Every structure is written in structure tokens, then in C-alpha cells.
Structure 1
Amino acid sequence: MQAARCPTDELSLTNCVVASEKDFKSGQLSIKTTPTQKFVFTVKTHSSVVPGTIAFSLPQRKWAGLSLNQDVEVSVYNFDPSRQYVGTMTLEIDFLQKKSVDSNPYDSDKMAIEFIQFFSAQAFSMGQQFVFSYCDKLFALLIKDIEAMDPSILRGEQSSSKKRKIEIGLLHGNSQVIFEKSESSSLNLIGKAKTRGSRQSIINPDWNFERMGIGGLDKEFSDIFRRAFASRVFPPDIVEQMGCKHVKGILLFGPPGCGKTLMARQIGKMLNAREPKVVNGPEILNKYVGESEANIRKLFADAEEEQKRLGANSGLHIIIFDEIDAICKQRGSMAGSTGVHDTVVNQLLSKIDGVDQLNNILVIGMTNRPDLIDDALLRPGRLEVKMEIGLPDETGRVQILNIHTAKMSQANMLAKDVDIKELAVETKNYSGAELEGLVRAAQSTAMNCHIKATTQVEVDTEKAQMLQVSRSDFMASLNNDIKPAFGSNQEDYSSYIMNGIVKWSNGVSDILGDGDLLVQQTKNSERTPLVTVLLEGKSYTQTLLTLYNVTFPFYITINCKQNHFTRLLVFTLQGRKLLILGTTSRKDVLQEMGMLDSFSTTIHIPNISRGEHLMEALELLGGFQEEERATIAKQVKGQTVWLGIKKLQMLIEMSLQVRCHFLVGIKWIFPPLSY
């Protein structure tokens, strides 16, 4: 083929050779200029190029020593992905024309981003000279060094420290570009990309969960990375050859205070991408017609413009919707509304996955109520990665507490008797926000000890210099200040079991054994994750038994006087292993209402009906002397009694208050027997 002049100035800035569509379509070409010299270029096509010729820009002809109409030998060049992808490329930079010299600072980080987006998937060689347009200025570039990318990066693994030099490489989205101004240049470079670093991945090397204030979410992030970012680690041309489309949306859901918003905000810092746009759901809504939809379009405007300009080489744009359920409710679910919510959902759907769908965006939504969100938004191609951010386990609580006590520990303000692992055990079912609140409460408790409140409030500055937060401060806050919103309420539980379980007959032991079996069935069975049990009997017989030996991480008691069964709780319990215990003293009413069939099994809780069972209960409960119990035994011998264990406990306590006259005590317990 013959060398020709590049047909347009715009094409001459692409660093590509230009050929006719009849000769080549796309890819890389090996161009042999002499028997011992060959150069590798990326090829573009243009209709003005004559078949049989190949067009070069002036910098390309100068570098390769080509003259117009010179015959060259051209062949297709294939890169080896495991050896020839660019990890780091160092460029010498200067103004192309001396008359355009200025003293303005040029940010090398922004310049590197623009460079990679513009030249991604192109071939580069050591010593190559070309021109780069940035901020309406032309810069002359010279390739000083090329290091191959470690193949482990493509697998999402840690990069090895060994560097390998290469002569020819293919640039891609994960390459690192370093600018070094030439010795005689007056160019004013600022930014990190003017120095050599070690970044070769979409993941920022400075990223660390604990340093970013996130703990206990290692597995969740690992799953998010596998689904949402693995395809973005690979070079764009490989992804395009696979026909792979990047994941465009993630939905983070779970109870309040567990780290959804914090994780979403830190994803932008973790990635080598632009600062994410963070939007609170209700901020989108506007009372004027069409403004809410316009607000959605503005969020995606930058990504649309860049994708039109750079195509597959466009950078990643992250848009974060906090409280996304506020704007993406099920369409048609709000009777009598203006329909604004419906049109906002329609607009969002069209931007994420409409006719002109974008492939350079990542939408992250957070909500406590995914059941409210329109189903169309949750299908594959939209918010397809759904990740529950739940309560941290013990290991996660250790991480979170370490994060929030790190500064105190460094400043020697955390007492040595504070055991983070002990606190993690004591804070079962605490959310991340509640753990942070616990640390604040302990700090306040410690500070309060150094405040003197006389006629005016002042700080004892001498003692304050020796301020330390101790174990007792944490325990005081744990007992008095911070309680878990989700989890066992120990205070309610303690009030029910303060007198323990009185096994006044073998029947009570049998019932407790049945309860243990039901608990184990719920915990261990995969075929019956939901077990519903009705405990029925006369008043004051069932409540204690329902809470006996409950070892579940979360339990709640619900009654007609204090109902905490909120819709958020319903959602939180969905899909879990669940044991539901119902109690009633009016089984006949439930039968009339048709509710008995809602329970898997029914257990009858009997009253104390026989004299020997009563005496067994009195002995276990205590309070009476042996002579007194003997007197009561004579009274009840051969008699039929009928009372619940809770009522018996109450009557015993009443009788003890008038113990000075024993027969009066007998009257309190057994009025019919004392006459």
C-alpha cells in the first residue's frame, strides 16, 4: 500500500491511521516501512481515502520516517491480552507550539482521564510521537515508558509488585497514564498523575473499609463487586466482543442505620471515577408540571453527552438516590394523586434502559421499603443487583466499634479495661448507627464526670486533660441510653420471666419439651421456615411459657395495649425463619372467627386443678414455712382447685403481706376453703 496524507485535521488528532472501508474495517495494523522496521497503529476508516492507500498524520510520518506515496507493507496485528495490555504508560509532554505557551496550571489527573477516554483501545509504542488536544490547547507527547498490566488485575485480584516492560501495548480503561513535562518546558503541571504511582485497577488502591468508616459489610461489598464492577475491570474491547453490558443499577435495602447510605457514598471514592451525584429522593419532586421529569433528565445529561462523544470509552457516572421509594412508588398505587410519581418513574426507566439506553452509568438506590418500589425498576437491566444490608454480626460489630473508637485509642483516651470484643458480644442486634450512638453516649458519660454544676456549669480543665472513656461508661450507656430498635427487648423479657417457670407437674415439662422441638424445627428445618403455634388456656397460664427458652436473635411481644407491629417490621420479617406464638384464653372466639386454621398446631395450657399439684407449686414458689404448707395441704386434700400459676403467685404475695395472721393468708389464697 502507499502512504497518503491524513484527510482531515480532526482525524490527525486521533493517533489512528486512516484507510478505506474496502481495505480494512477496524482493529490494529502492523506497518512495515523497511525490512527491519515496523510500527503498530490503530486504524479508522474514511470515505475519502483511496483504496490501496493508507493515510498518516504529520507526527506519524515524522516518527516512522515516512514520505508521501512511499510503499509500505501492511498486515493485521493481534494483541496478546495476557502480555500486551498497558498497565502504566509514561508520557513526556510539552506545548506543541511555543506561541501557545501560558502559565495556567493543568491538572494532570483530569488530563489522564481525558487521555484514556479519547485513546482507549488504541495501540502505542515506545518512542512514539503524537499530538493531544486538551482544554483547546495542542500538546506534543512522547512515550517514554510502557509497563504491561498484571493479568491478575483482570481477575479482580491484588496486583503483584513485579513490573514488566513492553515495546508495544494496547491502552484500556484501567491503564494508568503519567505525564512528565520535558526538561525545557514551561508547562505548569499539577495533580497526582505527574508522578509515578501503582494504580492499575478500577478500584482505588487507597480504598479500605475501616478507613472509610464502613465495617461489617465485607461480604456484601464482595457480592456487589462481583455483580456490578467485574465487567468494568476488563478492557472495553473485550467486553464489547463478549456482547456484555455493564450492570446499571444496584438497590441497597434493609433496616435503618445499617450502612446503606454510607456504603453508596463511599463507592464513588472507592472507584477511579467521577464524584457521584447524590440525590435525596424527595428533592426530585416539584409542584410545577414537567419539572420533576426535567430534574431526572439533568442527572443523566453529563453521561449522555459523554457517551455520544466517546462511546464505549466513556467514563463511569454514578448517580445515588437516597430514599428512592419516595419517587419510585408502584405506578397507579396512589389514588387521587396528580400522577407526578408515575411520570417520574417513567422518565427514570427511559433513561436507565430506554430506547437510547446508557452504558456508562451506575444508579444506586437506597430504601427501607423495597416493597413500595415499582416492579419495572427492579428487573434485570435496571436496578438488577439487590443487596440487603442487614444488622452486623459479631465480627462486623467488632469492626464498627474499632472504627468509632480509633481516634480515642490513638489519643490514649480509651481506657485499657475497654474490651471491644466484649462490647460486640453485648450489643447483639445493634445496627451500625446504634453502635456509633453507643460510643457517643459513653463519651458523654465520661465527659459528664468532669463537669462541675454549681451556680454555673463549668469544666474541670485539670481533670479533663486526663479524660478517658472506661468500660463502666460503655456499660452505663448500654443499660440506660442505647437500645436496639431491632432485636430482643431484654426489659420486656425480664418482666415476663422474673419468677421463672414453675414446673408444678410433668405436664408442664412436656409442654416445654414440645416448645423446644418447635424452636429447633424453626431454626433447622428448610422445609418449614414458618411455624405458627397457638397456646390456649385460661387467663394467666400462657404468657410465661411463650417466652421460655427463646433463643432467636430477634423476638417481639405484641398485645392489645402496646402494639409495635409496624409495616416496616412486617417487611423486615419477610423471607426469614419465623416462629409465631399466639396466646388466647378464648379459643372459642378464634374458632368462630375462623382463625384457628392459621396456626400449624395448638397446645393446651392447663390450670392447676389438683391439690397435689398446688402443693408442688407452693413448694417451688417458696414463701411458706413447712408447718404452713402442711396446714394448706390439709385444707386442699381431696379438693378441686382451679387457678393459673400467675394468679397463684399474686395471691401468695398478697398473703405474705398479712402473714402476722396465718389464717388470713389462707383466706387470701383459698377463700372457699377458709370458711
Structure 2
Amino acid sequence: MPLFTPEKAQTTDQAKQNCVFMNTKDYDDMVAKCQIKPLYVQLNGVVFLAKPLAECPKDKIMLNANQRKHARISLLSNIQVEPYAPQHSDYTDLVQFAIVPRKALPFDSMNSDLLQKEAISQLIHRTVYDQPLTLEFEQQFFDVTAKSQTLQIVTNTTFFKFSVPHPASKNLQLTGDHVESAVVKDSQLMRFVKQTQESMKQKSDGQEQPTDDDNFELDIEFLGVGGCNKQFADIFRRAFVPRLLPPQIVKQYQMQMVRGLVLYGPPGTGKTLIARKIGEILNAKEPKLVSGPEILNAYVGKSEENIRNLFADAEKEYEEKGDDSELHLIIMDELDAICKQRGSRNDSTGTGDSIVNQLLAKMDGVKQINNVLVIGMTNRLDLMDEALLRPGRFEIQVEIHLPDKVGREQIFRIHTKRFVAKNAFDPEISIEELAELTPNYSGAEIQGVVNAALSYAQTRMMNAQAALEGQQVSLKEFRLLKKDFIRALKEVKAGFGKCDDKQIQLIQQMGFLNSAGTTPIIQDIQNYIQTIRNSSIKLGTVLLHSNSSGTGKSSIAAEIAKTCGIEFVKFISAEALVLKAATEMERCNAIVKAFQDAYKVPEALIILDGIEDIIMYTSEGMRFSNQILTTMLPLLKRGQGRLIVIGTTSKFYGMQALDVTKCFYKQIHVDGLDKTLIDEIVQEWCESRNIKWEGGKASELQCIIDREIVTIRALLQSLEQAASGCNEVQCSDFGKFFENTW
């Protein structure tokens, strides 16, 4: 690269042109060599526009003082001059300038619209960084500094926004449409909107999309966020669009900026990721990231001081610069840890209440500041103090749902694009199919599926390397296959998904027999569920009841859970509650949580297996848990989303006395077995286990025929005992065991 000797600009006219000058012959030689015109040159990593000047000596380059200072160039040493080819991203549509007069002005206001015309005329093709440029206006000289540390090249369509920094703003006012909006620096926001529009345009495949001025849509997949387009658009519309308005409109209509928003929803849906991305797209101060428990301190008053420290920088800058201060972003994770409802804690310290009071005062107290935005994240919005959720504080509450099919496709594309780019993604893998196979999966769980599939591919590559006796396997052989994802889906289950096969097998310990006469009942319930799913009805309830246990009610419910097609299934039984909850209050909380989880998915099935045991009902003295009963009954009367509840009970008349049966729209009595089908049932059971059954005479099965109610449980238990240790069931043994079974 040629070496040039730096020189000072010789005249005021040269200094104010905001470019470097080269000898005409040097300039022509460089243009001919690199085929770039206008010519841009790079000095110590800083790019400048170059112009030819006959008066400039050969092998020398002229720079003004600001240029030498910004590029750290000394007049005592030579410097390499490299031609620079501008990239498309270097040309900017928007530049924000801080404008400062070099001396006292004979006027106290300037029209920013006229400044726009002069800036285009004087700065076109110039490169702007965060170093001062010279701008002449109304025969006065100003230093204008771009508020961007990256290279920007001015074009004839560049839109300028001007602001006068404090304290110069006391003596100079800007008017017109090119005044920078106070508080937020919106170049990043505008660039973000442009990127989303380009992304949506590419996905439309050239088809004209319907437009609606009242609706605002964003496609944020390019940010690495999937399944949250609508929520992100709502956040942008409520929190950021007002900050893009001209300041005169904001002042004229006394608009209040949003100071807080809460993201809430199930774990793993992307709340923290969205908050981080908001910090990236905003041209704001470095976000302050803090977790709720980190605020707490063992010493009295320290927790409140930690809250004050979060807002200290924003308050200090607002006092110094007023509306010209930059936006300060505070991101608080696990917000419910410090913002619980005041008075709800049982401790005697009052620290929790004091923290809430301090946060209330800082967000919307006596001193109001518009240069701060607090983003909180929580899984339990219901625990937060109500005063925090009013307008002026966390006034925007956005629920981040589990992603739908389109959202899951976006998330899979985000996590697999690095493999697609390296041709390490099997073409047989269909993203649409993976999205179909992962209903009710959160974003974190989808990432877990991809990581699990990746581990299988890594293991396969390691085995291949071992087969080659230590030789390196080519990277071209590394590939994610469809079978990797199939195995990963079996390994990573959705937290809001179906109950696993082990739980159903536990309920159907002795199997499920089609010949037991339950097929019509199952078909009836399936038809009812399908009717609810295809109608506007939100809640469907079914009660399977009998006057004795063992008639197969739980087994029928488990069979429906397997075959109904609903992905979210929760079993609530007394046995499960005993393992999870020791007290009545804990049982109530477990029941409420199951219903709350069901409300978070599009459709859900909850099975209350053995309602009498769940409420701890005993017929002697009519004893039961009133607390559990009064918790459960309201949940059975009104649902959210689309919810099917199937209950089972062997104490129908007892539940009727407690008004439990009134909560179930469809009630089905499950009878004992048809005695004429016993031989057929036994035959089916034996065939399923490769056990021989010769059939029985009526006299040998008299004990079964004489019993008033024959339950499926008693029948199957007798068969298990009769077949124990042999390959044949003798009718006499079967009858003997049945006689002693209830």
C-alpha cells in the first residue's frame, strides 16, 4: 500500500469540506487501480471521502484537525492510504446530529428544515462517525457530530435529525420536522422496522399483502426470536412508537412515555430473550440486567438502596440534559421475587413491602423522568402488587404464550439454520413436520430437542472416528438426520404435554379389554369431546360413576387420554396428591396449578380420578374436606381456553349430596360386566398373554354368575392369580380365586 505524508488543510474552505485531499495524479492513479468513484480511502481504520486537489503536493494527503484527531494521525510520520469499497449497508437513510455553534449566535432559533437542505448540500457522499464535522448555516459555523460509532455515508435521500445538547440548548432552539425526538435515539428503531418489513416482504413471495393502517406487524425471526411476532408488535406499538414522534407533537399533546412493561407466561417461552433483543435494537445505554433475588440484601435498607442505584444513572443524566438524555433500559428477571402484594408476607421485617414502595416511587413518584424503561419478567403475574400494574408503572402487560405451529417452525429454523448453512442438515427433515410433532412445546424445549438430536449426531460421528482407529473424520460427514430428531422427541417431552405411557400403564395395570363392553361408552365420550372441540363451548365435563369400585372407570378415562388427540392431559388422583401434598392447602394448590396450566394451552384434558378420595370423603358421618371441595367446584363450573374434564367416582350418591354431580354436564353409569360375556373376556385376556384357555362350564363359573355385580378388576385379578407360573388357566382355579376376590 502506498505511503503518504499527512498535511494540514491549507485554507478554511478546504477544512470545512469534511473530506481529505490528494494530489490530482495520485487520485487518478488510485481511481484507475480500484475502479471506485467517488473515491473513499481508509486511514488507520477510519474511512474518509477523498477529492483531487492540484495544489496538494504529490505523495501527500491533506486533513483538517478533527480528521487527524479522530483517526489518530500525526504530522510527523507517514501513513498507509488504502482505497475503501463502500458496502450497501454503509449508506444510511437516517443520521442524528448533535449541533453546537462555534461562537455566540446573533439568533436564538433555527429552522431544522433549512438545516436539512444545507446538510445534504454540504455533506453528500461524506462519511460520518461520532467525530465533529463542519457545517455552515446562515454565515455561521457549527460542529455537527453524528450519534453513531459505525460508518455512515450520506446520500441525497438521507434524513437528518438535529438536536442541541445541553447546555447549548438553553440559548438555541430548533424548530421544524427535523428535530430529534427527545429521550430515545431512534435510528436503530427505524433500521429495525425496515429490516422487519424487508423480511416480511421476502416471505410474501411477491404476493401483494392486504394493508391496514390500524395494524402493525413485525417479523422478528431475523433477530433470533420465534413465535412472538404479535407480542413484539404490541410492545413496539405501545412502548416505542410514541418515542418516534416529533418532540413538538409530544409536548403539544403532553404525551407520557411508557416507563415499564411486564412479560409474563409459562417458563421457557422466550421472555428473557425478548428483553435482551429489545436492548439490542434500541440505541440506548447499556441495559442493566438484574434478577429479582439479587436485589435482596441481608442488611436493613440495602435492598431499597439497590433499587435506587438502578435508577441513579438515569436520574443524573436527566437532571443534566433533560429531554436530550438517552434512554436507560433496566431489565429485571424473576420480578415476582421482590414485588409480591404488600401485606402478603408473614415476616416481621417489612423488607418486601419497602422494596415495592421504593420501586413505585422511582417509576412514577414525585420526580418523573422520561428517559427510563423498565422491563420485568415473571411466571406469576398474579403474585405482583396491584399498584405496580397501573398506568405509569408496569402499564403494559404482555403474555408470552406457548408458540403455535407457525411459531414452532420459526424456532426450529432459528436453531437449525447454522446446520443448513453448512449443509449439515438432512433434506429429508421437514421443519413443518417437526412443528406438527411438537404441540405445546416451549421455545426452550424446542431448543432442547435440537440439542438432543445434535448429541446423537455427535455420537454417531465419534463412533465413526473410533472405527477408523483414531483417524479424523471429515467434517463433511457430520450431518443431522431425521432419525436423530425422532429419537430426540422421545427424549425431550413438553412440560405442557401428554401424560407419559408409564402413567397410563400404571392405571391400566392389567391391560384394557375391548370385549369388556366399554367400547360404546368410549365412543360416546369421544363424540362428546369432538363436539366440544368443534363448537364455541369452552368447557366440557363428563362424570363416569358407579356404586362400586373396580368397574373400569379409571381404565376408560386412561384409554380416552390415549386416543382423544388432545396433547395436554393431566391426571389428578388421591395417590398423586399424597406424594405431592401433605396438607389440604397443598392439595388445593396442586389442583389449582393443574387447571392454571390447562388454561395456558389451546385445548386440554384433565382427569379427576376418584373424586371422593380427592376430597377425602367418607360415608360414615359424611366427612370430607370442605377446603378441597370449595376449591374444586368453581374450577369445574367455568373454564378458559378449551377444557375437557373427566371425573370418576364410586360414591355417586355421596357426590350427589355434595352437589358435585351438578358440575358435570354428561353423566355415564359404568355397569358391572355382562355375565354372558365372561368367557369371551377371559379368552381375549389369555390370547393377549399367549395363555391357553379351554373355556368353562356354567357349573364351574356359578360363583361368578351368582354374584350381583361382576367387576372387571375382580375378574382380571383372578385371571392373574390363576395363570401365575403356568401357561394355562384352569376354569376351576379361576373360579376358586374369583370367589375370594372383591
TM range (shorter): 0.5 to 0.7
Cα distance between partner residues in 1 of 2:99 and 2:575 = 65
Q: For 1:383-398, list aligned pairs within 5 A.
A: 383-398=394-409
- For 1:172, give the aligned amino acid: V
How far apart are residue 587 of structure 1 and its match?
A: 4.3
Alignment partner of 2:309 out of 293, 298, 303: 298
How far apart are residue 174 of structure 1 and its match?
A: 6.2
**What secondary structure, in the 3-state scheme, does the structure 2 residue paired with 1:263 have?**
helix
1:659–1:665: 8 Å Cα contact kept in structure 2? no
**What secondary structure, in the 3-state scheme, does the structure 1 residue paired with 2:316 have?**
helix
Cα distance between partner residues in 2 of 1:501 and 1:240 = 75
Q: Indicate the residue corresponding to 1:596 in structure 2.
A: 660
Q: Indicate the residue corresponding to 1:23 in structure 2.
A: none
2:334–2:378: 8 Å Cα contact kept in structure 1? yes
1:535–1:602: 8 Å Cα contact kept in structure 2? no
Q: Indicate the residue corresponding to 1:648 in structure 2.
A: 715
Q: For 1:466-481, list aligned pairs within 5 A.
A: 466-479=477-490, 481=491
1:610–1:640: 8 Å Cα contact kept in structure 2? no
Structure 1 residues 30-78: Cα deviation after superposition (integer angstroms, max 9, x where no partner):
xxxxxxxxxxxxxxxxxxxxxxxxxxxxxxxxxxxxxxxxxxxxxxxxx
**Residues 393/460 of structure 1: CA separation in 2 closer, same or farther (3 Å cut):** farther
Cα distance between partner residues in 1 of 2:353 and 2:722 = 68
In terms of mean alpha carbon deviation, does 563-572 or 256-265 score higher?
Answer: 563-572
1:485 and 2:495 are equivalent in the alignment: yes
**What secondary structure, in the 3-state scheme, does the structure 2 residue paired with 1:524 have?**
coil
Structure 1 residues 553-595: Cα deviation after superposition (integer angstroms, max 9, x where no partner):
3111122333463775454345443333332334466568x47
**Residues 219/671 of structure 1: CA separation in 2 closer, same or farther (3 Å cut):** same
Structure 1 residues 100-159: Cα deviation after superposition (integer angstroms, max 9, x where no partner):
9972569x99x97672899999554333899xxxxx998742379xxxxxxxxxxxxxxx
**Residues 101/476 of structure 1: CA separation in 2 closer, same or farther (3 Å cut):** closer
1:142 and 2:107 are equivalent in the alignment: no
1:452–1:459: 8 Å Cα contact kept in structure 2? no
1:318 and 2:329 are equivalent in the alignment: yes
Q: Indicate the residue corresponding to 1:151 in structure 2.
A: none
Q: Indicate the residue corresponding to 1:332 in structure 2.
A: 343
Q: Indicate the residue corresponding to 1:171 in structure 2.
A: 178
- For 1:171, give the aligned amino acid: H
Flag structure 1 segments of 5+ consecutive residues without an equivalent.
1-90, 93-97, 131-135, 145-160, 178-192
1:662 and 2:687 are equivalent in the alignment: no
Cα distance between partner residues in 2 of 1:335 and 1:647 = 51
1:414 and 2:425 are equivalent in the alignment: yes
Flag structure 2 segments of 5+ consecutive residues without an equivalent.
1-47, 50-63, 73-89, 102-108, 123-129, 139-154, 162-174, 197-218, 581-589, 600-639
2:545–2:652: 8 Å Cα contact kept in structure 1? no
Cα distance between partner residues in 1 of 2:729 and 2:566 = 46
**What secondary structure, in the 3-state scheme, does the structure 1 residue paired with 2:497 have?**
coil
Q: For 1:560-639, list aligned pairs within 5 A.
A: 560-563=574-577, 565=590, 569=594, 571-573=596-598, 575-587=640-652, 594=658, 596=660, 599-601=663-665, 603-615=667-679, 617-618=681-682, 623=687, 628-629=694-695, 631=697, 635=701, 639=706
Cα distance between partner residues in 1 of 2:189 and 2:530 = 52
Q: Indicate the residue corresponding to 2:514 in structure 1.
A: 502
In terms of mean alpha carbon deviation, does 562-571 or 322-331 score higher?
Answer: 562-571
How does the TM-score come out when normalised to structure 2? Answer: 0.61
Structure 1 residues 327-356: Cα deviation after superposition (integer angstroms, max 9, x where no partner):
111111111241111111111111111121
Query: Over the residues paired in the alignment, what is the CA RMSD in angstroms?
Result: 4.7
- For 1:643, give the aligned amino acid: V
Cα distance between partner residues in 1 of 2:466 and 2:274 = 47
**Residues 137/265 of structure 1: CA separation in 2 closer, same or farther (3 Å cut):** closer
How far apart are residue 534 of structure 1 and its match?
A: 6.0
How does the TM-score come out when normalised to structure 1? Answer: 0.67
Structure 1 residues 251-279: Cα deviation after superposition (integer angstroms, max 9, x where no partner):
11111111000011101112333332211
Structure 1 residues 192-233: Cα deviation after superposition (integer angstroms, max 9, x where no partner):
x9xxx9978274645663332211111111222222222222
Q: For 1:198-277, list aligned pairs within 5 A.
A: 201=190, 203=192, 205-206=194-195, 209-277=220-288
Cα distance between partner residues in 1 of 2:483 and 2:273 = 30
**Residues 352/583 of structure 1: CA separation in 2 closer, same or farther (3 Å cut):** same
How far apart are residue 596 of structure 1 and its match?
A: 2.5
1:115 and 2:90 are equivalent in the alignment: no
Q: For 1:61-140, list aligned pairs within 5 A.
A: 103-104=69-70, 115=98, 124-125=114-115, 126-127=117-118, 140=134
- For 1:663, give the aligned amino acid: C
1:501–1:544: 8 Å Cα contact kept in structure 2? no
2:465–2:473: 8 Å Cα contact kept in structure 1? no
How far apart are residue 671 of structure 1 and its match?
A: 3.8
How far apart are residue 410 of structure 1 and its match?
A: 1.2
1:307–1:358: 8 Å Cα contact kept in structure 2? yes
1:215–1:399: 8 Å Cα contact kept in structure 2? yes
**Residues 455/375 of structure 1: CA separation in 2 closer, same or farther (3 Å cut):** same
**Residues 627/584 of structure 1: CA separation in 2 closer, same or farther (3 Å cut):** closer
Q: Indicate the residue corresponding to 1:368 in structure 2.
A: 379
1:427 and 2:446 are equivalent in the alignment: no
- For 1:556, give the aligned amino acid: K
1:632–1:666: 8 Å Cα contact kept in structure 2? no
Q: Indicate the residue corresponding to 1:550 in structure 2.
A: 564
2:265–2:401: 8 Å Cα contact kept in structure 1? yes
1:281 and 2:292 are equivalent in the alignment: yes
**Residues 229/640 of structure 1: CA separation in 2 closer, same or farther (3 Å cut):** same
Q: Indicate the residue corresponding to 2:447 in structure 1.
A: 436
**What secondary structure, in the 3-state scheme, does the structure 1 residue paired with 2:263 have?**
strand
Cα distance between partner residues in 1 of 2:261 and 2:711 = 55
Q: How many residues align?
A: 532
**Residues 226/534 of structure 1: CA separation in 2 closer, same or farther (3 Å cut):** farther
Cα distance between partner residues in 2 of 1:200 and 1:606 = 63
Cα distance between partner residues in 1 of 2:471 and 2:555 = 50
Cα distance between partner residues in 2 of 1:162 and 1:450 = 55
Cα distance between partner residues in 2 of 1:234 and 1:300 = 25
Q: Could you tell me the percent identity over the aligned residues?
A: 33
1:535–1:604: 8 Å Cα contact kept in structure 2? yes
